[in-house]
Amino acid sequence: MEGLCKVGEREIWCYNVLQKKRSAIYSCRPHVPMAGDVIGWNWALPLVPYGETFRRHRKYLNQYFAKPRLPDYHPSQLKEAHRLLRDLLDDPENYKSHIERMAGAIIMLIIFGHEVKSNEDEMLQIAAKGGRTIAAAGTVGAHIVDLIPPLRYIPDWIPGVTFKRLPPGTREDLAAMRNVPFSYVKKKMATGSAIPSYTSTLLEETNFQDEDGVKDTGANAYSAGFDTTLSALMTAMIALVVDPVIQARAQAELDTVVGRNRLPDFGDREKLPYIQCIVLEAFRWGATTPVGVPHRLIQDDTYNGMFLPKGSTIIANSWAMLHDPDVYPDPEKFDPDRFLLGEGRTPQPDPKGPAFGFGRRVCPGKDLAENTIWITIVSMFYAFKISPATDKDGKQIPIDTHHSEHSVRHPKPFKCTIRPRLSNSAMLIRSTQE
C-alpha cells in the first residue's frame, strides 16, 4: 500500500497512516490547477489550505453536523425515504432517478430549507450540474495540468490544447451551484418565509458578517454529501440485488424487529445489527472515494526510513486500504458478516476511517450521510423485493458489479425488478402520503 512515483515536477506518495498519526503536518492541500484555477472551485473546503479560513469553515460544519444534532435531521431523512418508497411503488423502472432525487433532496432541505419534489426541481438541477463539473475536474491524476502546473498558462485557443477544456458553461454551472441556493435562502429570510436550515441558522448566528463562509460551506456540504451518499446507496443496493441470500437475511431481521404492520424508523437501528453491517460493507466494498483529495506535506518528514521532502503531494490510497486481503480477507466479496459482533467473533476493522477521509480533513458530514444511507436501505428492502431484471425468455439479466473509476466511484447502471414484498406494502407506503 505504500509506494513512490515521480510525475513531472511533483513527487506523489501513496501511504496508509501518515495523515492520521501526523495530521499537523499532513493537513494542507497542494495547489490543484484544474479544479482550483480552471473551473474555479478554489473556494471549496477540500481545496482550502490549512489555516484560519479552513478552521473557521470546518467549525461551521462540525457544530452543525455534530452527533448530538443528528436526531434533528431524522424527520427530514424519514420524510424523503418515504417519498422514495412512493416513487418506487408508482414508477419502479426509474429507480435510479428516484434515488438521486432523494439523496439530493435531503441535503437540499437540511442545508437550504428547500423541499425538492421532483427531479425537474430547478435548484436540484443547478446543484447537479455543478456536481458533475466537480466530478469531471477532480479525479486525481486525470489531468496533466495538475501534474505539470505551468501548462495552465498555455492559452486555450492554441491548436491541440485540449487538456484545459471542459464543456461550455462549466465555470458558470459551478458558480451557480455556489450562489443560487444561497441567494434563495436570503430572499426567503427577507420575507420571513425561510424554513430553518444550515444556511439560515448560520447567517443569523454570524450576524451576516461572514456570508462568503456560509455560502461556501453550504455549497460544499451539498456537493460533497450528494455524490458520495448516492454512490454508497447504489453500492449497497447492487450488492443486495445480486445476492438474494444477503437480501433475505436483512429482510428476516427487519421482520423480526419491525413486524409487518409499520415501516422501519430510526428507533429500530440498535436492534438491526446485520443491516448496520451491510452499510459498513458498502463503505468498504465500494470505496466511494478511492484516493480522495491529495494532501501536501508542510515540512520535511521521515517514514520507515524514507525521506519525504516538504511540499510533497500525499495521496491516501483508500481503495487499497479497504481491499487489503491481510485486513479484509477475500476483499472482492461483499460480506457483511465480517463486521458482526458475537461470541467467538473478531470483527474486521471499521472501514469508515479510510472511507471518509483522514486526520483534520475527515468528512464533517460522515455521520449524517451514514444515517441517510441506513434509513434508505431499511425502508427500501423492508417494503420491496428487488431482483435482477429478466429477459423475454424469463432468464435473469447478468449484473456487472464493477464501479466506474472517477474521483467518486459509482456502480455501473443495472436493470432490476422492484415489487412490493408484503401483502400490505402498498398500503403502508400510501399511508405516508401527507
Q: Which residues are known binding-site members for heme?
A: 363
Query: Residue 155 burial (CB < 10 Å; 0-12/13-18/19+)?
Result: exposed
Q: Supply the DSSP symbol for 396.
A: B
Classify 411 as helix, strand or coil.
strand
421 neighbors 387 (Cβ within 8 angstroms): no
C-alpha cell at 167: 464543456
Alpha carbon distance 434, 289 (integer Å)? 37
Rounded-to-10 torsion of CA 81, 251, 265, 415 = -10
Instruction: Report yes or no: 432 and 426 within 8 Å, Cβ to Cβ.
Output: no
3-state secondary structure of 403: strand
Cα dihedral 186/187/193/196 (nearest 10): -20
Residues making up the annotated binding site are 363
Nearest to 61 by CA among 45, 73, 47, 72: 45
Using alpha carbons only, give the angle 22, 26, 32 rounded to the nearest 5 degrees.
165
Neighbouring residues of 391: CB distance < 8 A, sequence distance ≥ 6: 397
Query: How many CB atoms within 10 Å of residue 325?
Result: 9
Which phi and psi angles does 313 have, rounded to 5°? -90, 130
Among the listed residues 415, 416, 94, 411, the one whose alpha carbon sits nearest the alpha carbon of residue 231: 411
Please, are residues 134 and 45 in contact by the beta-carbon 8 Å criterion?
no
